[in-house]
Amino acid sequence: RMEDTYNTSTTFILSGFERDTTSALLYFACLFVLYVVTIFANVFLIVVLFLEENLRGPMYTCLCHLAVNELCGSTAILPHLMANVLSESKTISYNTCFAQVFFVYTYGTVELTVLTVMAYDRYVAICNPLWYGSTMTDVKTYRLLILVWSYSLLTTLLLVGLSLRLPLCSSKVDKLFCDNVTIMNISCVDASINNIYGIILIILTIVFPLLVIVYSYIRILIVCLKASKEARAKALNTCLSHLLTFFIFVVGVFAMVIGNRVKSKNAPDTVINILSLGFLIIPPLFNPIIYGMKTESIRTGFKNILRKQSS
């Protein structure tokens, strides 16, 4: 009977880990340093944005939400990953596995949608500066961010709910952490509904935001080409941090996709594992550093805080 082939285990085996002890220690050391730097950089950025009164407005509010989201995404995966690196069993419980699926997809959805709101903010500020004060008010910005979080949580809950109903034929997860694609791959039944919902999510959560971001920057570029050299430099400078952040997120997602698609016979397991962690490590690590270094107002805010503390 088909029921006899179903996996009833409450534990999954994560088979993406290296078995070599020396490699495991090296992985743990690298992950630990990356996680500590990520936590420090994002918490530091949040503290500066919170304490400095001059850092108020839609862009800084969005940036704060971006940092919070990156803290949640990193913390949902990396501590458990580091524990498993040193563990001999390399396992994850059923509930923890689906919790990882929930947090990974929520993190990715919030990240891209917040970046879309930030692109819209820059578009209004540069292309329609006279309307900026009435268009991007604090109330409207918070409403947009509430919509972002609500949409991300609800769509991810439905995604996880559809996957929870699938009977599984294996307890082996061929990755370092759980994601929805892996769960579908070990399902015993047809997952057409999940695939259809996944396509809808890709259109709404990836394609549409990308179109908004690309359209915003095409319009910004058109305006900049018509402006004076000084105005052009100022406008592009305000967009540089966001563009770098968006580029890093795309690179991270692209690395994860490559890591999911490349077979182990074509590339070393180490390379595949690093690529699969791309969008969970790269954006949270580099985004606060980019904004801290490239945004003059944030650097000034940090100096003001240090000045206040020293006095």
* 91 inside domain: yes
> The CATH number of the domain where 178 resides is what?
1.20.1070.10
pLDDT tens, position by position, 107-160: 999 999 999 999 999 889 888 888 888 888 889 999 999 999 999 999 999 999
* 143 inside domain: yes
The whole-number pLDDT of residue 107 equals 93
What phi, psi does 12 have (nearest 5°)? Answer: -105, 150
Lowest mean pLDDT among 61-70, 72-81, 162-171: 162-171
Asked whether the predicted pLDDT for residue 267 surpasses 70, the reply is no
Q: Which domain holds residue 176?
A: 12-233+296-310
The whole-number pLDDT of residue 258 equals 67
pLDDT tens, position by position, 226-236: 777 777 777 77
* 252 inside domain: no
Average pLDDT rounded to a whole number, residues 49-77: 88
Average pLDDT for the chain: 82
* 270 inside domain: no
* 264 inside domain: no
Identify the band that residue 65 occupies on the pLDDT scale cut at 50, 70 and 90: very high
* 289 inside domain: no
Q: At what angle do helices 229-261 and 208-226 cross, to 10 degrees?
A: 160
List, in sequence order, the alpha helices (H) in the chain.
21-51, 58-86, 94-127, 129-135, 138-164, 180-185, 192-201, 208-226, 229-261, 269-276, 278-294, 296-310
Asked whether the predicted pLDDT for residue 5 surpasses 60, the reply is no
* 274 inside domain: no
Radius of gyration of the chain (CA): 22
The whole-number pLDDT of residue 18 equals 63
What phi, psi does 130 have (nearest 5°)? Answer: -70, -25
Average pLDDT rounded to a whole number, residues 177-198: 84
Q: Measured at the alpha carbon of residue 153, what is the angle toward residues 148 and 159, in degrees to the nearest 5? A: 125
Q: How many domains does the chain have?
A: 1
pLDDT tens, position by position, 100-122: 999 999 999 999 999 999 999 98
Asked whether the predicted pLDDT for residue 36 surpasses 90, the reply is yes
Asked whether the predicted pLDDT for residue 290 surpasses 50, the reply is yes
